[in-house]
Structures are given as structure tokens and as C-alpha cells.
Amino acid sequence: MRAASWTLGFGICAVALGCAGRKPAAEAGSVTGDPAVAPRGTSDAGPSDAEASDAALEADAGAQAEDNAVPVVDPTVAHALVSKSGEGAATPLGLRFEVMELGAELPWAFAVVNRGTEAALVDFDARLLTLEILPPVVEPEPSAKTKPPKLAKAKKPPKAVVCRLPADVVPNSVDAALAIKLEPGEGLVQNFDPRLYCVGKTPWPLVEGAQISARFGWPLKTKVVWKGGKRQEELAAQHEPFVAEPVPAQGSLPGAETSESGERRIKELSGTPFTLGSNFGNEIKLPSGPGAPPPGLELSISGSDAGNESTVTATTTITNRGPRKQEVYFRRELITYEVSGPDGVFQCDPQPDQRSPADRSSVQTLRPGGKFSAVSRLIEMCPAHAFARPGLYLVHARFDAADPANDLGFNAFMGRLVSAKPALVRVRRGELPFTRANSMMRVRVGE
């Protein structure tokens, strides 16, 4: 998303993320203009989660009932996914799993639909998603030095990149709160952000031409065997946990599961592969040409892969892209963060302590091409419990320079800098559950 359009686009993205959230949810605003987001110390109560941990954290916020929440899945998207599930490969229980991409900067959606003839129990847990991404093949530009085709060495096919949540996040058993019964013809749809699963991947795999193969569940167990002196892998006996299994017939005794029903339990579901289009090839570029502003200072931000909210950090960097030396009076409190997370959009605006006198060490002198960075713990800048739910947070930064530091003998930069691209912050564990109770939509085939 281009910096010039970020003011409107970020608000739209917040709605698409299903931000019917809890404190510190707020109306969409922008760090590029007048903030319309609740600053630190305020509380805009939103719909609460059904979990007891949510209630404990939000009792003081006067949380509203989840029935008033904005739908978190676009009905059009849900309908398209249900239709797509009719084209997938059959499974022992007739369950179909499909993923739909909705763009480079919007959440995608996934669905599990029961197209069988009997009820099934599905562990509908987004932490079980895996994206296997095959990078596009980049053909070299032809040149005079290029060898003839018959003499050129054959290139190895690119290796697939596997995007999944860290092992300490993926559950090792079925979450009873997410084990949902699907009758024949029923399905479940939920949004997810693929960037959550690819944090830390270099080079970034979600690019134009990449082929996506999505899986849902736990990997199948294999064993190594030797046949004819050759090492091979074959499927081993599968044990719990299973992502889906048949619902026991009414009247059956506990433990009376037959071997046939045990064999029909599903370890993992696979979706139909798809290829990312041209909208994944657009990079943010600064405007150029006669009407473009002159090059100068540039603000960028990078995120972190945090174990919990207490370790969430963001690194802001100011770079001098101009032809002349620049002086910058910088304090971390002059950075305002706008964050879009699983529960809404909120702002972190700590405000500088006016009692602290100006300090010469706060003035950075940047020669052309020079830069400096500062790391901030966001728990010190943001509202309480802002990162309490595990998941992906998109963080933009704004730097407001209002002190030229003349009293220190400097003529520092005056103005506003805004990050063009958000930082990705992944929080692995938190006080709130990974999945909100109102984050999924139940659908029916043919409706």
C-alpha cells in the first residue's frame, strides 16, 4: 500500500481483519493525519470474547455482548469458499478444506466443509494451518554472454518454503473449545493473515507467481523402510491428535469405537493449490518525477517475533536520503505507533515528558546515506493488554519533530515522518486465547 493512500487504506484493512475487538479497539484512524484512535489511558470498550480470561481483563472496560460484533467474514467470501470446496478431492469423511487469497495486504480465508453423509467432529483451530510455498522460477535475461540452450546447465528447481507457526504455538492436542460438530452440508469459515505464518522468512515468499499449497491439521507420521537397498519413506500408523473424526453414533457405548471408524479419522486436510497474482508483485516505491517531493529523511520500522506481550519490540530507523547533512532531535517518546491487531486498531502515543530538558545526545547528525535506529518495548508505549492476544500485529510509526534544538546550537529537522510499510509483530503466547469466540462463521452448502 502506498504511503500516500495509507490514510484511507489502513482503516479499510482494519475492518477486513475482523476488528470487532476488545479494548483497545477504536474507529479507524491514521498516523498520517489527525489521530482518530483512542490514545493511551483511554478505553473504548468493544465486544468481549466468550472466554473467562477475556472477561477478567475487560470487566473494567464494560465489554459489550459479542452478538453486536461486526461479521468477521465477508459473506461473499464465505459463499465462494463453499463453492470452491465442491471441487476438492474427497476424504474418508467427505470433508473438504480450501483457502482463498484476497490480496497482499488483506486477510485470506479458509474453510472446512462437510460434503459427506455423516456428522464429523472438526478441530477448527487456525494454529493448525500450514502454507507450503513454491517460489516462482525466474528466467535470466538473455544476453550475448548467455550459453546456447544445449550447453547451459539445468537449474535445480526452487525449494518450497514452509510457513507455519512455531512449534511452541502449535497445539499438540485437540482444543476442546474448538472441536466443532459439522453436520452434512455444514461448514466453517474464518479469516487469517498469511503473514503471521511467514514471519522471519527471507526472502519474502508471498510474491507474484508463487504457488501455494495449504494444509490443515497435523503432519502425517512416516517411517523409513529399505526396499531393494533403497531408502524410502512410507506412512506409519497414525495416532492422536486428529484434526477430524466421525461423530459416534447415538447409543454407542464409550470405548466401543470400531477399527473402521478409527481408520477414518483424519490427521491432515489438503487444499487445492493456487498461484499468487500480479497484486503480490507491487512494491512500495517513492514517487519520482517533476512533481515528486525532494529526497530527504525517511522513516522505516521493523517488528519482532515475541514470546509474549512483555517482549514485543519495534525498531524505528531514520535514514537521510537527501544530498545534504541533516540534524534530527530524536527521542523515542516522539514516535507514535498505530497498530492493527486481532482485536482492532489502537494507537500508542506515550507523549514526551516535558519536564525532561533537551539533551545534546538526543541530536543525531546524519550525512547523506546515514541512518540511526532505536528499539522500543511497546508494552511501555501502548495501552494495557494491547498485545494480550497471540497473533499478528501490523505496526505503523509516525515521528513528529517539533524541536529544532536551537538552544543546543543545532538547526534540527522540523516536520513529520511516516513509515510507508508496516512492521510485522508476531506474539506467540498471551493471556487471551489465540482464537476469538466470534471469529468464525458457520455456513451451509447451497445457501
Q: What would the mean pLDDT of 330-338 be, rounded to a whole number?
A: 91
Cβ neighbours, 10 Å, residue 362:
18
Which pLDDT band, with edges at 50, 70 and 90, does 99 fall under? very high
**Residue 35 binned pLDDT confidence (cut-offs 50, 70, 90):** very low
Look at residue 242 and tell me whether its pLDDT is greater than 90.
yes
Q: Hey, which of 124-128, 278-282, 404-408 has the most confident mean pLDDT? A: 124-128
pLDDT, tens only, 182-237: 999 999 999 999 999 999 999 999 999 999 999 999 998 888 888 888 888 877 88
pLDDT digits (tens, 9 = 90+) for 405-440: 777 788 889 999 999 999 999 999 999 999 887 889
What global pTM score does this model have?
0.78
Give the confidence band of 292 by pLDDT, cuts at 50, 70, 90.
Answer: low
Question: What pLDDT does 230 receive?
Answer: 85
Q: Which residues 6+ apart lie within 8 Å of 214 measured at CB? A: 97, 98, 99, 110, 129, 130, 131, 132, 270, 271
Per-residue confidence (pLDDT) for residue 362, from 0 to 100: 85
Give the mean pLDDT of 249-262.
52
| Rounded (10°) CA dihedral 120, 215, 16, 275 | -130
> How is 159-190 classified by DSSP, letter by letter?
PPEEEE--TTTS-SS--GGGEEEE-TTEEEEE
66 three-class SS: helix
What mean pLDDT is predicted for residues 352-370? 76
DSSP secondary structure of 130-151: EEEEEPPP-PPPP-TTPPPTTT
pLDDT, residue 262, reads 60
Higher model confidence: residue 425 or residue 11?
A: 425
Most confident of 261-270, 278-287, 368-377: 368-377
**Which region among 32-36, 205-209, 316-320, 354-358 has the lowest average model confidence (pLDDT)?**
32-36
Span 322-333, pLDDT tens digits:
999 999 989 888
- Measuring CA to CA, how many Å separate 271 from each of 92, 132, 161, 210, 428? 15, 11, 17, 16, 25
CATH 2.40.30.10 fits 3-48+289-427, yes or no: no
Residue 287 pLDDT grade (very low, low, confident, very high; cuts 50, 70, 90): low
Q: Where are the chain's structural domains? A: 3-48+289-427, 68-281+435-444
pLDDT value for 160: 94
Mean pLDDT of 112-134: 96
Q: Is the pLDDT of residue 127 over 50?
A: yes
Q: How confident is the model at residue 171 (pLDDT cuts 50, 70, 90)?
A: very high
φ and ψ at 82, to 5 degrees? -60, -40
- Between 267 and 358, the higher pLDDT residue: 267
The whole-number pLDDT of residue 28 equals 43
